[in-house]
Amino acid sequence: MLRLFVGIDLPPETKLALSVIAQGLPGVKWVDPGNYHVTLRFIGEVDEAMAADIDVALAELRARRFPMLIAGVDLFGTVDKPRILYAGVERSAALVELRDKVGQALGRAGVPPEGRHFTPHVTLANIRAGHLTDLGHYLEGNNLLRLPEIAVDRFQLVRSYLTRAGSLYEAAAEYPLA
């Protein structure tokens, strides 16, 4: 079985800029900067035949290039029970359109629809537990984050490997945008 998702990889300079703020907060498990990406759609575990169908469906997708902006930091969960610390991605019509087209292509390939609301983001850390007394200060100190605009000209089908050290990602296929 293959564990897959569809995402947008980030340029090295964006990963570097995010890695600079990914520190100084005890009680979290920081994501390796090489794994920074924007998930368009999590697929989960599929067999080789389904993965091939997904690849064909995504290769037929047509969408335009667009600019993307990373700005601010926030949490999934609450300040009392935080789960994920992330850098926000400004929602744009082009980003939502690409995400919707990915969902339609996956549907044609037989992947069931995803029920979660789309909140574009880059995961910076998984929050385990413990004394997160500095979390409020961290959010306050980084909420004005605004990185240079990214030119999105492709997206990827990514294979995810779960290890004890964390997830490892490998691009299984790449799809250019017009």
Torsion-angle region of 78 (φ positive above 0: left; ψ -120 to 50: alpha; else: beta):
beta
Environment class of 7 (CB within 10 Å of its CB; exposed 0-12, middle 13-18, buried 19+): buried
* Given 117, 121, 131, 137, the catalytic residue: 121
In 3-state terms, what secondary structure has residue 161?
A: strand
* Given 37, 117, 131, 137, the catalytic residue: 37
Q: Is 131 a catalytic residue?
A: no
Residues acting as catalytic residues: 37, 121
